[in-house]
Amino acid sequence: MKSNLTMTECIHSNSHQNDQGSPQPPLYDTSLFAFESTQTMRDVIEGKTQGAFYTRYGMNPTITALESKLAQLDQAEASLAFSSGMAAISALFMQFATQGILCVGDVYGGTQQLLSKYLPALGIKTFRLQKTDLNSVETAMKSNQPTLVFIETPSNPTLHLQDIKRLAKLVHANGAFLAVDNTFATPINQCPIALGADFTVQSATKYLGGHSDLTAGVLSGPIVHLEAINEWRKNLGQTIATEVAHKLSRSLLTLVLRVERHNFNAQLIANYLDTHPQVRKTCYPGLTPHPENDFINQQMSGFGGMVSFYIEGDAAMAERFVDLLNVFAIAPSLGGVESLATQPIYTSHYGLSEETLKQADVDGSLIRLSVGLEDIKDLINDLEQAFRRC
């Protein structure tokens, strides 16, 4: 399936050419910038003129060039680049902490810990709703009156989907904002802001970076709110490093090409697993029939590179299967050019309570695959030999 964005847009969005003729923004690997006078410095810091000032504030040309590109990809008014995806999420939560935050459905384990343990310790009200039907969400909103509703779709690791357009209408009707973790989909396969969400957040460590060689995050949304969130980023020291921003800008040039190959490989692997006798259940948005078929094809233009499945057996059987893989590496994270395999109970959801794991349908038999860009026959052959041997 083709993406909404084209290679031309990824390459030429926020196109730049400096005095030396370079088509890409240069790396300004400096912490500060000097001025001709105090007045010119004041004009920049007060926002009267555009300019660089201090890198921790995000006022560095390498960072602002990246953010302009990210905003264009996310179809947002503005974007902020962070040191990690969790930095972006925590700054967003801090800004909307006054009346509380409602998290709907499954989310990444680190986000769950932030909501269930660390924010409540600061006196911030957080509410978790496992059910994702609109009636349950509306009831939870009326009783808790949150400022912000947060979802992740597709979710990590079971790839559960939520209808962004319908949920956005409900959230707005109840006077709140909707934020979507779009890490698994990327703006190539899904654009939450175009579907009505107020914010979209991603761990750029994953598909946006795409080569397992950087750690970063991005938050996109309305300028007025991002200006306020930037104060949290600045004062908590969460700004992306300039060299990381420069490397991320490079990676975005091939984002469409990479994601389309991820989509292609993952679809074929999901089809293979879905009929395998040693697989109890396969989780992938591109499988048909799918429980969310009524909205999924309108919401997503591609289904991503993540595939999860429950092996017939227990945690020990799943561990043996993963250990027998050769092409798939055993590693945390996802979204790189190389294929990875993990048991979420030991990575993304490690340390969560048994009750939380049960609610999220995560157990020891669940295996998560980050499908890379290798030849599809090599990936399927690797899975087949592991099934055969375990």
How far from 209 is each of 15, 94, 215, 380, CA to CA, in Å? 19, 26, 8, 25
Rounded to whole angstroms, the maximal C-alpha distance in the chain is 73
Burial of 377 (0-12, 13-18, 19+ CB in 10 A): exposed
Burial of 75 (0-12, 13-18, 19+ CB in 10 A): middle
Contact 223, 78 (CB under 8 A): yes
Q: How far apart are CA 97 and CA 101, in angstroms?
A: 7
* Among 277, 241, 279, 249, residue whose Cα is nearest residue 365: 279
18 C-beta neighbours (distance < 10 Å), count: 11
Instruction: Check 54, 56, 272, 274 and give the catalytic one.
Output: 56
Residue carrying the six token digits 């921003």: 245
* Among 263, 182, 190, 262, residue whose Cα is nearest residue 1: 263
Looking at residue 161, the DSSP 8-state letter turns out to be: -
Helix ranges restricted to H, 53-202 = 61-74, 85-95, 109-113, 119-121, 134-144, 164-173, 186-189
Instruction: Check 206, 258, 261, 368 and give the catalytic one.
Output: 206
Q: How far apart are CA 268 and CA 286, in angstroms?
A: 10
Beta bridge mates, 127: 102
Instruction: Check 106, 163, 181, 382 and give the catalytic one.
Output: 181
108 belongs to the catalytic site? yes
Contact 161, 292 (CB under 8 A): yes
206 belongs to the catalytic site? yes
Instruction: Check 28, 69, 108, 310 and give the catalytic one.
Output: 108
Give the residue numbers annotated as catalytic, written as ranges: 56, 108, 181, 206
